[in-house]
Amino acid sequence: MSTITIRNLDESVKQVLRERAAARGVSMEQEARDALREVAIPKTKLENGAWRLKASREEILALGRKLERPFDLKALTDHMWDEGLL
């Protein structure tokens, strides 16, 4: 773990962190760590509304599976050109 010092933090930001921390029952320092983590690390939302940080094994394996029907890239790009998307 590393340490970071943040100088010249707006008082309003500090107050929001204090209120969020109190609402969650954690320290202001923990709230700041969690807030930074939320911004710095992309997340994926699951169907049940939960969040996770990494792709599942099944999702990775699905990338290599064959499609159920042929994929017509030319038709897709023609459609995109016709619609002005490219």
The Cα 24–Cα 35 span in angstroms is 13
Q: Where do the domains of the chain lie?
A: 11-82
Q: Which of 14, 43, 47 is nearest to 31 (CA)?
A: 14
Q: How does pLDDT run across 42-81, given as a tens digit for each residue? A: 666 666 767 666 777 888 888 888 778 888 889 889 998 9
- pLDDT above 70 for 7: yes
pTM value > 0.75: no
Q: Which of 20, 55, 56, 49 is nearest to 36 (CA)?
A: 20
Helices 11-24, 28-40: axis angle to 10 degrees equals 100
- pLDDT above 70 for 6: yes
Q: How does pLDDT run across 21-45, given as a tens digit for each residue? A: 999 999 999 999 988 887 777 666 6
Residue 84 has a CB neighbour count (10 Å cut-off) of 6
Q: Which of 3, 8, 30, 6 is nearest to 17 (CA)?
A: 30
